[in-house]
Amino acid sequence: MTDRVIVGSLGGSFGVHGEVRLKSFCADPQAIADYTPLYTEDGQVFAQLILTGQLKNGFSARLDGVVTKEDADRLRNTTLHADRAKMPALPDDEYYYADLIGLTVLDTGGATLGTIRNVVDHGAGDLLEIAAPGQSDTILLPFTQAAVPTVDLAGKRVVADPPDGLF
């Protein structure tokens, strides 16, 4: 799904009339409705998304084809993807998570530290989950200017200056 970007996730039903709980990952959370059609990893396509209300951690919404509470509950923990071509261009120092996954991580001396497996955000900032060669556990590196001074998408690499003892 490299030609698509994750834009949100569904949290199951909201009410009994087929509405879903929606968490938007967009910089402007309401903009998720502008990126239709939306796709799931298993191939479902939602041509229309209508935001119907504001919730504590997202929105209530209607998706075409979802008409019952059971339909909505089946979509719990489903991620929604949008075509990359519909997404806005980013400033030079911002990246889509999908663009970072798979990049090689080098230290400032050029030694390979690993490969970015995932990008996670637990609320205090983004973390790069790095699979290091010869290690079964992944390493979480803060995705800050200090810890990751260079991101070279064309070269498929990032240069990291990790805190002492992290690797």
pLDDT by residue (tens digit) across 34-67? Answer: 999 999 999 999 999 999 999 988 999 999 999 9
Q: Please, is 9 exposed, middle or buried when counting C-beta atoms within 10 Å of its C-beta (0-12, 13-18, 19+)? A: middle
What is the mean pLDDT of the segment spanning 97-111?
92
Report if residue 33 sits inside a domain: yes
Number of domains the chain contains: 2
Report if residue 14 sits inside a domain: yes
Residues 18 and 57 in one domain: yes
CA distance 17 to 52: 12
Given a cut of 90, is residue 83 above it in pLDDT?
yes
Report if residue 165 sits inside a domain: no
Quote the tokens at residue 39: 């796709």
Report if residue 92 sits inside a domain: no
CA 63 from centroid of its chain's CA atoms: 20
Given a cut of 90, is residue 98 above it in pLDDT?
no
CA distance 64 to 80: 14
Task: Tell me the pLDDT of the chain averaged across its residues.
Answer: 91
Given a cut of 70, is residue 88 above it in pLDDT?
yes
User: What pLDDT is stored for residue 2 in this prediction?
Assistant: 64
Residues 8 and 69 in one domain: yes
Q: What is the pTM of this model?
A: 0.72
Residues 113 and 79 in one domain: no
Quote the tokens at residue 128: 């790069």
* Per-residue confidence band for 90, with pLDDT thresholds at 50, 70 and 90: confident
Report the helix count and the strand count for the chain, using DSSP H and E.
2, 13
Residues 71 and 8 in one domain: yes
What is the mean pLDDT of the segment spanning 60-83?
95
Looking up residue 113, the CATH number of its domain turns out to be: 2.30.30.240
Last residue within a domain, chosen from 86, 116, 144: 86
CA distance 9 to 44: 13
| Cβ atoms of residues 38 and 46 within 8 Å | yes
* Per-residue confidence band for 1, with pLDDT thresholds at 50, 70 and 90: very low
Given a cut of 50, is residue 102 above it in pLDDT?
yes
Report if residue 166 sits inside a domain: no
CA 66 from centroid of its chain's CA atoms: 23
Q: SS3 of 99, please?
A: helix
Looking up residue 41, the CATH number of its domain turns out to be: 2.40.30.60
Residues 70 and 135 in one domain: no
Query: Which range of residues forms the domain containing residue 25?
Result: 4-86
Residues 143 and 70 in one domain: no
Last residue within a domain, chosen from 61, 86, 111: 86
| Cβ atoms of residues 141 and 147 within 8 Å | yes
Residues 72 and 106 in one domain: no
DSSP assigned state of 66: -
Report if residue 42 sits inside a domain: yes
